[in-house]
Amino acid sequence: MDYLMTEIEGVWILEPKVFGDSRGYFMETWQRADFERHIGPISFVQDNESKSSYGVLRGLHYQEGEYSQAKLVRVIKGRVLDVAVDLRKSSPTFGRHIMVELSEDNKRQFFIPRGFAHGFLVMSDEAIFCYKVDNAYAPEHECSIRFNDPTIDIKWPIDESKMNLSPKDTAGVAFRDAVLFD
């Protein structure tokens, strides 16, 4: 596995070594000792999977306070643009975001530490998105920031009229009103 540090501290892109032949391929998607040697200790407690169609935008989600989650995400079918937004007030990159393409072809993974909002936009007909988290889902502590907040200024590559959002995501708060991390 190759570990690529991004310009935002704590956010990493992971590129697995893929061994392919005429029968298909094999890759190791996660190995605790290797991960901890490069990024640090983690204890994932839950795996999740979602299936979405073109234009579905999920996010920008996070859980507040002690319920915050670190995530290791990947796509096993299709293609998405995945985004992490730094909500750590003490961070030199506070309010900045990073976007990375994850696909079944590039097999990249994206590690997002606690203290970030997360979202993704489906760019293929269909996408199956998998993620590991280090804290249980706590719906009463879940927050959502508007995907099109001008302070964050994410340049989504498709028009909002072609996006498919849940009522929760449509009702997300402005960045200035979000619960932030110290």
Tens digits of residue pLDDT in 128-157: 999 999 999 999 999 999 999 999 999 999
Q: Quick one: DSSP state of residue 153?
A: -
Reported confidence tier of residue 182, pLDDT bands at 50, 70, 90: confident
Per-residue model confidence (pLDDT) at position 117: 98
Write down the catalytic residue from 61, 62, 97, 118.
Answer: 61
- 118 as an active site residue: the answer is no
| pLDDT the model gives residue 124 | 98
24-56 pLDDT, tens per residue?
A: 999 999 999 999 999 999 999 999 999 999 999
pLDDT of amino acid 101: 98
CATH number of 2-177: 2.60.120.10
What's the whole-number average pLDDT of the chain? 96
Is the model's pLDDT at 12 over the cut of 90?
yes
CA dist list (Å): 155 to 74, 135, 159, 163: 21, 30, 10, 13
Return the amino acid letter for 180: L
Is 141 designated active site?
Answer: no
pLDDT at position 10 is 97
pLDDT at 162 over 90: yes
Instruction: Check pLDDT > 90 for residue 107.
Output: yes
Spatial CB neighbours of 38, under 8 Å, sequence gap ≥ 6 = 1, 3, 12
Two tokens at 131? 């993620």
Catalytic residue selected from 118, 131, 137, 141 = 131
